[in-house]
Amino acid sequence: MRVNADVRLIVHKTDTNVLLCYVGHHDAAYTWAERRRIERHPTTGAAQLVELPERVEDRPASPRPTIAVPPERLFVGISDDMLLAYGVPTEWLDAVRQATEDTLFDVADHLPQEAAEALLNLATGGTPVIPAPAPKTTDPFSHPDAQRRFRVLTNIEELERALDFPWEKWTVFLHPAQRQLVERNYTGPARISGSAGTGKTIVAFHRAVALARRHPDARVLLTTFSKALANALKGRLQYLIGNEPNIAASGLVRELIRQAAAQVEGQRFTERFLFGEWSDSSMPGN
């Protein structure tokens, strides 16, 4: 879709909806679109935005071949059916089969998140749980894995955030399994474990925000192991709650009113009356 003489929107259009996929300058947008497609994964049933592997052209053999021990491939004993069950796109099966310790992260960067997480888990000795495939009649965009990368706007507030904030904002949205961890009521301390890149920090970040919303009079402390990550989380906080109204808790308002009243000489009104006046003036339309 043409925005102006330079900017283009790349969309996936059907008879019933338009899915916004990418926005960029003319050449970059078309280059991005040429190597990607949206498809339903043949095994998991989840909608995926798949980057197509680059073709490696045949090159003449080196006149002076060197003899070296080839690096060990990580997934030799894993069947194609198993890789597909973990969400690896069909187009990437060959690349995954050739992956070594040196190339694994390069390959994972091009895969859907659920597939990358499963491969990293396998490579470190884990056994990822194979999700149950969705029935073919199920909407592929409703699959939990699809909800990591596609989002339906259900109210004006979400649309407002999407329009008002940079695209980096979308990195703070949760997978449904992560949301369960964030919203759950725990009876004591909880520990969430996982390999690198599985979203532990984002879960902790959302948990802190959820607790602050649930207990507006409380103070929530979120700590991390580096100043750089702390600053990154501070920036993401603005993406997540930047357009929410900053309403002070009632206890804080009462205390501020009490302090202000004490500074006014001859003040005759009670704290209850002043708080009532504040509350009435804060109502919509006043």
Q: What is the pLDDT along the chain (286 residues), one digit of tens a residue?
A: 888 889 998 988 888 777 888 888 999 999 999 999 899 999 999 999 999 887 655 455 555 555 666 788 889 888 999 999 999 999 999 999 999 888 888 898 889 888 988 888 888 888 888 888 888 888 888 888 888 788 776 667 766 766 665 555 555 567 677 888 888 888 888 888 765 566 788 888 889 888 988 888 888 998 887 787 788 777 777 667 765 555 566 677 788 888 888 888 777 788 878 877 776 654 444 4
Residues 6+ apart with CB under 8 A from 14: none
- Asked whether residue 75 falls in the same domain as residue 122, the answer is yes
- Whether residue 61 is contained in a domain is answered as no
- Asked whether residue 47 falls in the same domain as residue 129, the answer is yes
Residues 144, 176: contact at Cβ < 8 Å? yes
- Whether residue 230 is contained in a domain is answered as yes
- Asked whether residue 48 falls in the same domain as residue 103, the answer is yes
Stated as kind and residue range, the H or E segment containing 22 is: strand 18-25
- Asked whether residue 139 falls in the same domain as residue 186, the answer is no
- Whether residue 270 is contained in a domain is answered as yes
Give this prediction's pTM.
0.56
Local structure of residue 286 (DSSP, 8 states) = -
- Asked whether residue 79 falls in the same domain as residue 18, the answer is no
Total domains in the fold of the chain: 4
- Asked whether residue 162 falls in the same domain as residue 232, the answer is yes
Q: Write out the two tokens for 78.
A: 């894993």
Q: Write out the two tokens for 191.
A: 């520990």
Please give the single-letter amino acid code of residue 133: P
- Helical segments of the chain, H only: 26-34, 80-85, 93-97, 104-108, 113-123, 156-164, 176-183, 200-214, 227-241, 250-262, 271-282
- Whether residue 30 is contained in a domain is answered as yes
- Asked whether residue 271 falls in the same domain as residue 213, the answer is no
- Whether residue 62 is contained in a domain is answered as no
What range does the domain containing 222 cover? 155-241
- Whether residue 5 is contained in a domain is answered as yes
- Whether residue 99 is contained in a domain is answered as yes
Structure confidence at residue 85 (pLDDT)? 93
Please give the single-letter amino acid code of residue 119: L
For the chain, the distance separating the N- and C-terminal CA atoms, rounded to the nearest angstrom, is 44
Question: What is the number of other CB atoms lying within 10 angstroms of the CB of residue 127?
Answer: 8
- Asked whether residue 93 falls in the same domain as residue 181, the answer is no
- Asked whether residue 171 falls in the same domain as residue 222, the answer is yes
- Asked whether residue 119 falls in the same domain as residue 166, the answer is no
- Asked whether residue 103 falls in the same domain as residue 183, the answer is no
- Asked whether residue 48 falls in the same domain as residue 141, the answer is yes
Q: Write out the two tokens for 183.
A: 């919203």
- Whether residue 64 is contained in a domain is answered as no
